Structure 1
Amino acid sequence: MRPIVGNGTAEDEWRRWAAVSDWPALDLRPAAVPLVVAPHPDDEILGVAGTMALLGAADLAAVTDGEASHPGSTVYTRAQLAAVRRDETDEALRRLGLGTARVHRLGHADGGIDEQALAGQLAELLTPGRWCFATWRGDGHPDHEAVGRAAARACAATGARLLEYPIWAWHWAYPDDPRVPWARARRIDLPPAARAAKAAAIAAFPSQTEPLGPADADAPILPPHIVARFTRPFEVIFE
């Protein structure tokens, strides 16, 4: 796990890193409709929404409902916040043109993912050669890492292809950081339409990008300096 504190590495610093332009492109020809695994509602959108829009098809495995994003909220109970975030996911998919995507809600507790059970659930959804996008196993957030490990186990068991997307690594890591497997990085360039669709999908999560209320406990989880990392003209996965 990594400390996810402060403002983290600024997006301008990532944009100035010359190595990014040398990463090979990911060949976007999946064998079947890919499975995208999200620890919390919005992770899939931040990480690979542009790729999902380019592919024009994806199934979603929603591991939790994100009910613990604001544990001290003065506005929502955990159950209410879970309902809000499920609705936000549905709206985000519509904005990507994926309103008919199959969503598998796996029912794990936010902050308490059963990694072994999840690996079994994912294995039931995967087949040989099917692409599985999941959060990177070294991302720094315990839920993200648990999902990445479970997805890796499921892919190994089924012959599916694991593609890991970083989320919080962009916060705690820095260019050339030796803790990150940059040699495995693959780049997906996003044309204007895919970038616009992704921006619209991110905006479908006001529970995360805007304050829920005036209390500190209701502050946004994704303020502008964090969202900036996910509005680039490309996305990155580790292969």
Structure 2
Amino acid sequence: MVRPIAGEGTTEATWRAWSAPDQWPALELDPPGPPLVVAPHPDDEILGVAGLMSVLGAADLAAVTDGEASHPGSFVHTRGELAAIRRAETAEALRRLRIDGTVFRLGQADGGIDEDRLAADLAKLLTPGRWCLVTWRGDGHPDHEAAGRAAARACAETGARLLEYPVWTWHWAYPDDPDVPWSRARRIDLPPAAQAAKAAAIAAFPSQIEPLGPAEADAAILPPHVLARFARPYEVIFE
């Protein structure tokens, strides 16, 4: 379901005052090998599970799009320029995380993901039991949800383990929101080194966290009130 991603959304102070996350069971960190992390756009994987990636030390990345539509009316960069910038930002973020793995660039259109093609591409990268981390199917952004559905199909076909991470859910949802599967939430507590690595990786995306220029069309996609949600000492997945 597409959700309006506008305004301030639910504040991080509201989320931090909610006691439920303290009761969520921890995710057992026992993958059979490097997980496959699926990112609809460059930075989704960093916002959602960079801390987990840092703890594990290894992961392969399926970069579904190059994020060329992040600023569709930009007066500063063309879509092609934005794609190149965001590819470079991903490489730098992974370098800062010190992650061993391969980046698979799937070349889909930002804002126009072909789910059938994506499911087929992901199935080629998955094996029985392998962890597949992907944006939650109810996250509210159409590309996030399409990627989640495609990954769910690929996992069902291959026997891989589906683990979904919320990104924009923290904006539109609220504590105890009945539209969110809190009963499936698993918590990943991050040691200080992983928290620092995640912060450094997020900072590798200036095209998203800083304005490209003075026009409204070039405003930051991830201003401070959004970034605050990803500075927690834990991450969440839905299992």
Number of the residue aligned with 2:144: 144
Number of the residue aligned with 1:72: 73
Amino acid at match of 2:155: C
What is the rounded CA distance, in whole Å, between the counterparts of 1:219 and 1:54 in structure 2? 32
Amino acid at match of 2:84: A
Structure 1: gaps of 5 or more residues: none
The offset of 1:36, in angstroms, is 0.1
What is the rounded CA distance, in whole Å, between the counterparts of 1:105 and 1:90 in structure 2? 12
Number of the residue aligned with 1:53: 54
Deviations 1:44-97 (A, max 9, x none): 000000000000000000000000000000110000000000000000000001
User: What is the Cα-based RMSD across aligned positions, in Å?
Assistant: 0.5
What is the rounded CA distance, in whole Å, between the counterparts of 2:193 and 2:61 in structure 1? 21
Amino acid at match of 1:186: R
The offset of 1:172, in angstroms, is 0.2
Number of the residue aligned with 1:23: 24
Tell me if the contact between 1:134 and 1:164 (Cα under 8 Å) persists in the aligned partners. yes
Number of the residue aligned with 1:157: 157
Number of the residue aligned with 1:90: 91
Deviations 1:100-133 (A, max 9, x none): 4200000000000000100000000000000000
The offset of 1:5, in angstroms, is 1.3
Number of the residue aligned with 1:114: 114
| SS at structure 1 position matched to 2:124 | helix
Number of the residue aligned with 2:105: 105
Structure 2: gaps of 5 or more residues: none
What is the rounded CA distance, in whole Å, between the counterparts of 1:5 and 1:195 in structure 2? 27
Amino acid at match of 1:53: S
Deviations 1:8-64 (A, max 9, x none): 000010000000100000001101110000000000000000000000000000000
Amino acid at match of 1:205: F
Number of the residue aligned with 2:168: 168
Aligned length: 238
Number of the residue aligned with 1:193: 193
What is the rounded CA distance, in whole Å, between the counterparts of 2:20 and 2:216 in structure 1? 38
Please identify, of 185-194 and 1-10, the stretch whose mean Cα deviation from structure 2 is larger. 1-10
Amino acid at match of 1:66: G
What is the rounded CA distance, in whole Å, between the counterparts of 1:188 and 1:95 in structure 2? 20
Deviations 1:156-204 (A, max 9, x none): 0000000000000000000000000000000000010000000000000
Number of the residue aligned with 1:40: 41
After TM superposition, the score normalised by the length of structure 2 is 0.99
| SS at structure 2 position matched to 1:125 | coil
Number of the residue aligned with 1:123: 123
Number of the residue aligned with 2:63: 62
The offset of 1:3, in angstroms, is 1.3
What is the rounded CA distance, in whole Å, between the counterparts of 2:29 and 2:78 in structure 1? 41
Deviations 1:131-163 (A, max 9, x none): 000000000000000000000000000000000
Identity level (%):
77
